[in-house]
Structure 1
Amino acid sequence: MTDIKLIIFDIDGTLIKVGRHRIEPSAVEAIRAVKAKGIKVLVATGRTLYFVNPHVREVVDSDYYVTVNGHCLMDREGKILIRQDLPIEAVKRMHAFCVEHDIALGMKCSDAIYVTHNFKRYYETYSEGRDVTSIILDDTQRADHYLSVEAPMGLFLIGNLDILKENAHLFPEFTFSPAKPGCMDAYAHDVNKTKIIEEVLHRHNIPWEQVMAFGDGENDKEMLRKAGYGIAMGNAKPGVQKYADFVTKEVDEGGIVHALKHYRILE
């Protein structure tokens, strides 16, 4: 058995198949077994905490939450320990770009996502059929919450993103990471999940060599590379898998359990 002290889980495409809302049953039991062995767990996601399904929080009972692609570190109760906001001038330019090219734009703040352009498209796509009217708010009339109340920690864009890819050089302040089809995360170029995870490792004196990390997305590549045991899901693209030490099965084929058994953390 490997000497693992901490296991990091991405959510979408790792614990939950994209388009679903609950952790695969085999992964539920695996997480409980891991925690029973005294191994700490940490969720690292592009989502804000209020958009993490309560089922996920209940099952994982994460010691920490790294949210908004590393812009925010929270404890298990949801208290913000560290946060980094996006540069306002760059956000202004992005808002103007999205209005010009009719790209729906949501700004991830601490209490809700404030949509500054094309609320209807944004809500229909992001809500996935759920009632999330309390945490996706229409700011299209004034489009000033990020200026007058709170700077966002991240952006989420929905629409024809080819034009954004062609003009990404206009926004050197941002890293763009594909989410589900037609959707893109944007976060600060000098921020990623790994940097804020290192704060947790420092607090608990855990070296990267004793960390296992599961992920499937572009925003997981660095933590897969840094972890002593980087596990890419079978549904991850080849460009992500190449950063991993081991490629497990797909999320809905028992990928979490398969990797834990491969490294003899579970029998």
Structure 2
Amino acid sequence: MIKKPEAIVFFDLDGTLFNNQLDILPSTYQAIEKLKQNNIMPIISTGRTPLEVIDLMEDTKIDSIIGMNGQVVIYKGEVIFTNNIDKNVITRLYEYSMNKNNIPLAFYNYKMMRVSENSESAQKFYNFLKQDVPPVDDEIYLKEPIQMLLLLCEEGETPYREHFPELTFIRNTPYCVDIFNHGGSKGRGINELLKTKGFDDVPTYAFGDGLNDFEMFLTVDHPIAMGNAVDALKEKAEYVTDTNNNDGIAKALKKFGLI
């Protein structure tokens, strides 16, 4: 029998749990520790893969994640949900991207990351994340399940939406567009977690700042937008806190009486 938490708080990373220097503020570290002391479960909910945030999860002692915009859910080390993209769809997308648009791709699952080429656009994106460019393997999708793709570009994604209605395209940074199965989202990942673990009656909170947090805000009981969030997300929030650079996480958790 799983002990139910008093509440669950889902945290986006970039622009939310991270400040603009991709660091976690001291006030946020303290807030996460207080949540745990109060039997309130912090869970990461991000466009990033679990592989990218191993060090962060060890550092914060957060052991559960809604990863790749909800395409994988890992609860206390157990993979409880994946949403794989059909290989035939990936083949069509890759051929279209190379032949029509010359936009390279990245291939992600919860265990690995690969790129179709080590291009200038790949270097720009991974430098933005303060990461090394992953290994090159443009046939990895034929050998491994893929849960998310990236278009590595600063513009040019609009035609893809018409050509691939079975997929969702969300610009998540200035240098890439996240791609996953239509209907997949952080919100779906959260619902899979709550249903699988019997947490449907546990109060839920979420912090976010970007368009990929939209479905998450529609799913949880208490959506909280960062002060630096896009306006469209702020409109869906129950509360708008301070920015990711100015203790926004800690201030909102105190306001809601969670710490």
1:86-112 CA-partner distances (Å, limit 9, x unpaired): 122221122122213121210103432
1:240 aligns with 2:233: yes
Task: State the match for 2:82 in structure 1.
Answer: 83
Correspondence 1:124-163 to 2 at 5 A: 124-128=124-128, 130=130, 132=132, 136-139=134-137, 143-147=138-142, 149-161=143-155, 163=156
Q: What's the CA shift string for 1:95-138, capped at 9, x where partnerless? A: 122213121210103432111145453144214485636xx111
Contact 2:208 2:226 in 1 (8 A): yes
Matches within 5 A, 1:44-59: 44-52=45-53, 54=55, 56-59=56-59
Which of 13, 16, 37 is the equivalent residue of 2:15? 13
- Report the CA distance shift for 1:183/1:130 in structure 2 as closer, same or farther (over 3 A): closer
Question: Matched residues in 1 for 2:14 and 2:120: separation?
Answer: 23
Q: Check the 8 A contact 1:5/1:206 in 2, yes or no.
A: no
Q: How does 1:60-79 map to 2 (within 5 A)?
A: 60-77=60-77, 79=78
Distance in 2 of aligned mates of 1:92 and 1:58: 36
Whether the aligned pair in 2 keeps the contact of 1:103 and 1:118 (CA below 8 Å) is: no
- Given the superposition, is the C-alpha separation of residues 129 and 237 from structure 1 closer, same or farther in structure 2, using an over 3 Å criterion? closer
Cα distance, 1:229 vs. partner? Answer: 0.9
Give the corresponding residue for 2:217: 224
Calculate the TM-score normalised by the size of structure 1. 0.87
Q: Aligned to 1:12, what secondary structure does the other structure show?
A: helix
Which consecutive unaligned segments of at least 5 residues does structure 2 have? Answer: none
One-letter amino acid of the structure 1 residue matched with residue 80 of structure 2 = L
Matched to 1:232, the amino acid is A
Structure 1, 235-244 or 164-173: larger mean CA deviation: 164-173
- How high is the TM-score relative to the length of structure 2? 0.89
Counterpart code for 2:16: T
User: Percent same amino acid at aligned positions?
Assistant: 28
Query: Residue 99 of structure 1 corresponds to which residue in structure 2?
Result: 98
Secondary structure in 1 aligned to 2:16?
A: coil
Q: Which residue of 2 aligns with 1:187?
A: 180
Q: Which residue of 2 aligns with 1:38?
A: 39
Query: Given the superposition, is the C-alpha separation of residues 238 and 208 from structure 1 closer, same or farther in structure 2, using an over 3 Å criterion?
Result: farther
- Counterpart pick for 1:169 among 162, 176, 197: 162
Please report how far the alpha carbon of residue 58 of structure 1 lies from its aligned counterpart in structure 2 after TM superposition: 2.5
The one-letter code matched in structure 2 to 1:97 is: Y
Aligned partners of 1:263, 1:251: CA distance in 2, in Å?
Answer: 17
Contact 2:57 2:63 in 1 (8 A): no
- SS of the aligned residue for 1:73 comes to strand
Residue pair 2:81, 2:192 contacting (<8 A) in 1 also:
no
d(CA) in 2 for partners of 1:216, 1:6: 18
Relative distance call for 1:131 and 1:184 in structure 2 (3 A) is closer
1: CA distance, partners of 2:215 / 2:110? 25
The residue identity in structure 2 corresponding to 1:41 is P
Name the amino acid aligned to 2:92: R
1:202 is aligned to 2:195:
yes
Relative to structure 1, is the Cα distance of residues 4 and 213 closer, same or farther in structure 2, using a 3 angstrom cutoff? Answer: farther
Residues 44 and 65 in structure 2, CA contact (< 8 A), matched pair in contact too: yes
- Alignment: residue pair count: 254
d(CA) in 2 for partners of 1:167, 1:153: 18
AA partner of residue 17 (structure 1): N
Q: Report the alpha carbon displacement of residue 4 of structure 1 after superposing the two structures with TM.
A: 5.0
Change (3 A) 1:160 1:223: closer
